[in-house]
């Protein structure tokens, strides 16, 4: 493995978002606070997802995880499409880096951004809403896996896209709907049976449900099942992405 090349690309990707931290880290915190303010004011006392857990407390892990996955996707997808549109993707491809090393550098940088955003949102929001932490390890594991899945999905979107509009369409018609319909603002047990069953086909649901279990020790499905499905989804996307990188799909032409 070309460790120096991998670390250089990884450092470049981390530096790319950390240099504009007010935008990449500050903006998600403000957005999460606005969601918390609006939904907590409207629904606190009217909705109870878990017995003994206030709606505001229930909402916080969902907002944290939503920020994690959306920002992890944004990091890898925006980086790749910017390189393609600007024409300097060729310098990355000419470097003595394997497909696996390219993949790891982009995805791990997306994980760093996702975890950093999640930590910032959590630290600020929990100043107003104290939360228990039932299982810290599961909190970290689901945050890591969720950001890795979305970092990989962002890489696929960046490879497939030919212009910024394509990435925007992917974000608006796939990432945002799947994240909003994943149980961030509600428990799926509050839905009619048909929509409950449909929710089980949304992989984002398992990321958020498992992450929430780490705080409250309660969830809509078993955390073991959530872990297995998120792990399977990550393996599947990794296989697809590595195949696209090895073929140079839409990168070498």
Q: Are 110 and 15 in contact (CB under 8 A)?
A: no
How far is CA 221 from its chain centroid?
A: 20
Q: What is the pLDDT of residue 45?
A: 62
Nearest to 89 by CA among 151, 148, 153, 155: 155
> 126-143: per-residue pLDDT in tens?
888 888 899 999 999 999
Q: Where are the chain's structural domains?
A: 3-247
- Any idea which residue has 């990188």 for tokens? 245
Q: What is the pLDDT of residue 195?
A: 85
Q: What is the pLDDT of residue 46?
A: 65
Q: What is the pLDDT of residue 122?
A: 92
Nearest to 103 by CA among 248, 238, 250, 249: 238
Q: What is the pLDDT of residue 39?
A: 82
Angle between helices 136-160 and 55-86 (to 10 degrees): 30
Sign of the C-alpha dihedral, residues 152, 242, 104, 210? Answer: positive
Q: What is the mean pLDDT of each run of 10 residues along the chain (253 residues)?
A: 91 93 90 87 70 85 94 95 89 90 96 96 89 93 97 96 92 90 85 87 95 92 96 97 93 76
> 233-248: per-residue pLDDT in tens?
999 999 999 999 999 8
């Amino acid at each position: 493995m070309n460790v120096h090349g991998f670390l250089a690309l990884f450092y470049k990707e981390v530096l790319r978002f950390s240099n504009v931290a007010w935008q990449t880290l500050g903006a998600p915190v403000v957005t999460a606070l606005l969601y918390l303010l609006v939904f907590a004011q409207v629904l606190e006392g009217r909705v109870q997802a878990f017995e003994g857990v206030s709606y505001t407390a229930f909402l916080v892990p969902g907002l944290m995880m939503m920020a994690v996955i959306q920002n992890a996707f944004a990091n890898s997808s925006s980086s790749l499409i910017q390189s393609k549109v600007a024409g300097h993707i060729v310098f990355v491809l000419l470097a003595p880096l394997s497909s696996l090393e390219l993949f790891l550098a982009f995805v791990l940088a997306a994980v760093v951004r996702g975890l950093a955003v999640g930590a910032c949102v959590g630290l600020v929001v929990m100043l107003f809403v104290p939360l228990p932490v039932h299982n810290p390890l599961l909190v970290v594991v689901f945050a890591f896996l969720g950001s890795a899945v979305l970092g990989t999905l962002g890489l696929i979107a960046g490879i497939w896209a030919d212009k910024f509009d394509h990435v925007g369409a992917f974000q608006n018609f796939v990432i945002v709907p799947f994240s909003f319909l994943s149980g961030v603002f509600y428990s799926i047990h509050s839905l009619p049976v048909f929509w409950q069953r449909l929710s089980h086909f949304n992989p984002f649901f398992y990321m958020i449900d498992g992450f929430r279990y780490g705080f409250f020790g309660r969830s809509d499905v078993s955390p073991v099942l959530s872990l297995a499905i998120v792990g399977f989804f990550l393996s599947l996307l990794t296989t697809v992405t590595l195949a696209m990188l090895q073929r140079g799909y839409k990168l070498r032409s």
